[in-house]
């Protein structure tokens, strides 16, 4: 214990991060989350006013623009409702909180397993003993991102293949090492970890496997000893589509996320989140930078550090585009020069 | 409370609108000057949501400004033909009052002093007496820059020029000088630098003679007071308006439109601004609040004006001239809207 030299936050830290109900993004602190919500979800598209809540925006649209608001902008498909009043982390339904935490935990352990597999290091508390320890390979964040991208591409390719009906049982080795090679079960599953690529694992009873998506009540964590007496589903995405029944989409009830193996599903959620956030807001960009602790390079740095709340005046001037920009000659003078309006004195 | 209604005038000018003004003594009479070389006289029909075209007055060149004279039967125009004209609205007779060396941009009439002032791109003001008994032609005042906007309050005239120059003249002083026909004695009552960094687009004076508002091509409006005390000058302020936030995938920032028109409400002292973004907003100058912003019009708002009783707001809409336009035409897209205001619509809450 004690040492936190690795750059990876632990689960508690991850779970403590405030996150946005509408788009599942998480933030360094509550202030950033609130400014994100005001900028992305509670901003009036007619006049740019930033309101505090969806209800506030709805009232604003009604009173100021005589229009009605139907959905929250930039929200995930099943979270656009105006009926829930969200402000920062307040008002998020308990079941959604559970789902979110579950996703964080799962992602965390997946990432951890991947790391362990990649470095060859045993997780803390367990001594290795399978051969000489590998040299610690320190990856830069870019490399990690690259690998993540590769992983996602693979998942996507598999999904595509599955969709085409050509279920390709992919070789275990081809998988992200975290899936196939890690001998350590993710702690949250109380079940023995089935052999990797266990195509021969007892098939799920179809009736249960095709159970409808969870109702909006608190959802059990994946693989938890829940209502079904099922063996733990191998948390790999190697599950050949031909053999194992598909699990219903787990996180987004009724969102129609493509059925796929579990990590694949998680990455779908990530993709959803990413796509929701993709319309690169510059505020978002700044928040992201603030989160990453990156000081924006150069001139405007000081102001933007403030957390994306305020840009300097200069910065704004730079960004503005004037429809008419001649500061010496008026539009009328220019119009007067046009042949259709020109006047030739009769002299 | 009468509901607020808005309607489009059936026979708008054929080309871009340059100015519009309601008669001081007839709240339903409206004059509109246009780049199609005509001045249009409309009569708003109370309660019928329509305005009839009464008469048109043709000029030899596009008309840049129009104002009423002493009563609803008299008007003055300024145009690209460099002439300042008096028009008898009943007979249609046109009389040339003076000739500038360049196009005449604005005309303004002061009923109290019976003075007509015209401002031309030849950087002069012409001061005319409209008193028929006066044989005096006109006085010429040299300006340090090209005038772009002109407005009169009961006792002052504000001239906004290039290079952010703003000169304020005292009308009684002008009247005295006119009587003794000595232009040399006329000097600005105040010389100011515009509070706005960009080219002034419009000026309008408060009906209570306390101050004026200016607007610029850079989506901004400034409100200032005449009184030259530190206290009064500290009250002046400026604000941004008529802008549109760009979607972030286009780089963010704002599209900034010129604020083409300003008009004070004659009763409540609030004012309306019309911008290149096609919106009209009502502002409370005292409380520094926006009271209302109306639904977007199909094109840039070129001119706004309140009727003398404050019941109607006329809005001239035509394509805005933007940087780089080489074949501008307002033809077919010029529209005239009249909004009948409810009693409290333009009433400010007062400063807190």
Indicate the average pLDDT of chain B: 89
Does A47 sit within 8 Å of B323, measured CB to CB? Answer: no
Count other Cβ atoms within 10 Å, centred on residue B43: 16
Number of structural domains in chain A: 2
* Distance of alpha carbon B109 from alpha carbon B87, whole angstroms: 13
Number of structural domains in chain B: 1
What pLDDT, on a 0 to 100 scale, did the predictor assign at position B82? 93
- Cβ–Cβ < 8 Å for A76, A276: yes
Same domain membership, residue A61 and residue A161: no
Say if residue A194's pLDDT is above 80. Answer: no
* pLDDT above 70 as % of chain A: 47
A117-146, pLDDT tens digit by residue?
Answer: 887 776 665 554 454 555 566 667 777 788
User: Within a domain: residue B313?
Assistant: yes
Say if residue B81's pLDDT is above 50. Answer: yes
Closest Cβ–Cβ partner in B245, B321, B322 for A48: B245
Q: In degrees rounded to 5, what are phi and psi of residue A76? A: -65, 155
What pLDDT, on a 0 to 100 scale, did the predictor assign at position A111? 86
User: Within a domain: residue A290?
Assistant: no
What pLDDT, on a 0 to 100 scale, did the predictor assign at position A232? 46
B110-156, pLDDT tens digit by residue?
Answer: 998 889 999 999 999 999 988 766 666 788 999 999 999 999 999 99
What pLDDT, on a 0 to 100 scale, did the predictor assign at position A114? 85
Same domain membership, residue A185 and residue A43: no
Domain final position from A259, A276, A293: A276
User: Within a domain: residue A316?
Assistant: no
- Cβ–Cβ < 8 Å for B11, B20: no
What pLDDT, on a 0 to 100 scale, did the predictor assign at position B273? 95
Alpha helices (runs of H) in B105-168, residue ranges in sequence order: none
Q: Is the ipTM of this complex over 0.95?
A: no
Same domain membership, residue A73 and residue A35: yes
Same domain membership, residue A265 and residue A229: yes
Residues 24-53, chain A, touching B (beta carbon < 8 A) = 47-48
Burial string for A250-263 (b: 16+ CB within 10 Å, else e) reads bbbbeeebebbbbb
CATH code assigned at B276: 2.130.10.10
Least confident of B101-105, B242-246, B265-269: B242-246
Please tell me the distance in Å from B186's CA to the nearest CA on chain A. Answer: 26
Residue B178 CB partners (closer than 8 Å, separation 6+): B115, B127, B129, B136, B139
What pLDDT, on a 0 to 100 scale, did the predictor assign at position A79? 86
What mean pLDDT do residues B253-281 have?
A: 92
Does A47 sit within 8 Å of B105, measured CB to CB? Answer: no
B216-254, pLDDT tens digit by residue?
Answer: 999 999 999 998 888 888 899 999 999 888 777 767 778
User: Within a domain: residue A5?
Assistant: no
Torsion from C-alpha of A230, A235, A237, A239, nearest 10 degrees: -30
Same domain membership, residue A222 and residue A105: yes
Mutate which of A316, A331, A333, A339 to disrupt the B interface (most B C-beta within 10 Å)? Answer: A331
Domain final position from A252, A276, A300: A276
Same domain membership, residue A190 and residue A43: no
Domain that holds residue A248: 94-121+141-199+210-276
Domain that holds residue B63: 5-322+330-340
* Distance of alpha carbon A237 from alpha carbon A240, whole angstroms: 8
Say if residue A163's pLDDT is above 70. Answer: no
What pLDDT, on a 0 to 100 scale, did the predictor assign at position A230? 45
A202-244, pLDDT tens digit by residue?
Answer: 444 444 444 444 444 444 444 444 444 444 444 444 444 444 4
């Amino acid at each position: 214990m004690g040492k936190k030299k690795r750059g990876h936050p632990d689960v508690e830290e991850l779970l403590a991060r405030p996150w946005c109900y509408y788009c599942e993004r998480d933030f360094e602190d509550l202030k950033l989350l609130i400014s994100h919500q005001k900028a992305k979800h509670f901003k009036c598209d007619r006049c740019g006013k930033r309101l505090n809540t969806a209800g506030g925006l709805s009232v604003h649209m009604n009173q100021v623009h005589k229009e009605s608001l139907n959905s929250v902008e930039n929200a995930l498909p099943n979270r656009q409702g105006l009926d829930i009043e969200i402000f920062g982390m307040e008002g998020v339904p308990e079941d959604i909180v559970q789902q979110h935490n579950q996703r964080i935990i799962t992602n965390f352990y997946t990432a951890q397993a991947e790391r362990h597999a990649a470095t060859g290091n045993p997780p803390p508390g367990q001594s290795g003993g399978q051969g000489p320890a590998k040299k610690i390979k320190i990856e830069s964040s870019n490399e990690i991102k690259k690998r993540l991208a590769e992983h996602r591409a693979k998942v996507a390719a598999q999904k595509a293949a599955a969709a085409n009906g050509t279920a390709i049982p992919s070789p275990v080795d081809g998988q992200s090492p975290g899936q196939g090679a890690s001998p350590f079960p993710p702690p949250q599953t109380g079940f023995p970890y089935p052999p990797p690529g266990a195509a021969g694992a007892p098939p799920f009873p179809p009736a249960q496997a095709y159970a409808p998506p969870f109702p909006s009540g608190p959802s059990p964590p994946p693989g938890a000893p829940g209502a079904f007496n099922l063996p733990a589903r191998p948390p790999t995405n190697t599950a050949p589509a031909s053999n194992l029944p598909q699990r219903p989409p787990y996180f987004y009830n009724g969102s129609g996320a493509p059925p796929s193996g579990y990590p694949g599903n998680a990455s779908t959620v990530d993709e959803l989140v990413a796509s929701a956030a993709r319309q690169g807001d510059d505020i978002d960009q700044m928040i992201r930078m603030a989160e990453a602790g990156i000081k924006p390079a150069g001139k405007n740095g000081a102001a933007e550090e403030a957390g994306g709340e305020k840009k300097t005046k200069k910065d704004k001037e730079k960004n503005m585009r004037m429809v008419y920009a001649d500061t010496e000659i008026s539009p009328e003078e220019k119009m007067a020069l046009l042949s259709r309006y020109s006047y030739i004195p009769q002299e | 409370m009468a509901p607020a209604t808005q309607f489009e005038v059936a026979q708008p000018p054929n080309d871009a609108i340059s100015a519009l003004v309601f008669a001081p003594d007839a709240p339903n009479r409206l004059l509109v000057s246009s780049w199609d070389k005509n001045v249009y006289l409309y009569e708003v029909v109370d309660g019928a949501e329509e305005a009839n075209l009464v008469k048109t007055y043709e000029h030899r060149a596009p008309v840049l400004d129009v104002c009423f004279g002493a009563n609803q039967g008299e008007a003055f125009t300024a145009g690209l033909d460099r002439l300042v004209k008096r028009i008898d609205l009943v007979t249609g007779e046109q009389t040339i009052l003076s000739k500038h060396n360049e196009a005449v941009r604005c005309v303004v009439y002061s009923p109290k002093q019976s003075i007509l002032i015209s401002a031309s791109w030849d950087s002069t003001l012409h001061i005319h007496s409209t008193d028929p008994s006066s044989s005096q032609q006109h006085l010429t005042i040299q300006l340090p820059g090209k005038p772009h906007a002109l407005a009169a309050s009961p006792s002052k005239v504000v001239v906004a020029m290039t290079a952010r120059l703003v000169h304020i003249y005292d009308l009684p002083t002008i009247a005295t000088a006119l009587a003794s026909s000595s232009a040399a004695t006329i000097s600005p009552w105040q010389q100011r630098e515009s509070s706005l960094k960009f080219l002034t687009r419009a000026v309008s004076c408060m009906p209570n003679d306390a101050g004026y508002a200016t607007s610029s091509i850079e989506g901004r409006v400034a409100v200032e007071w005449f009184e030259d005390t530190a206290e009064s000058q500290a009250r002046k302020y400026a604000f941004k308006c008529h802008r549109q936030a760009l979607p972030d995938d286009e780089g963010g920032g704002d599209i900034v439109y010129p604020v083409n028109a300003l008009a004070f409400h004659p009763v409540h002292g609030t004012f309306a601004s019309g911008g290149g973004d096609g919106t009209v907003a009502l502002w409370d100058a005292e409380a520094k609040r926006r009271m209302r912003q109306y639904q977007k019009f199909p094109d840039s708002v070129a001119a706004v004006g309140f009727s003398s009783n404050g019941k109607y707001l006329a809005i001239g809409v035509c394509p805005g001239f933007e940087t780089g336009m080489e074949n501008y035409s307002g033809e077919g897209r010029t529209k005239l809207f009249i909004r009948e205001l409810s009693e409290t619509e333009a009433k400010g809450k007062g400063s807190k």
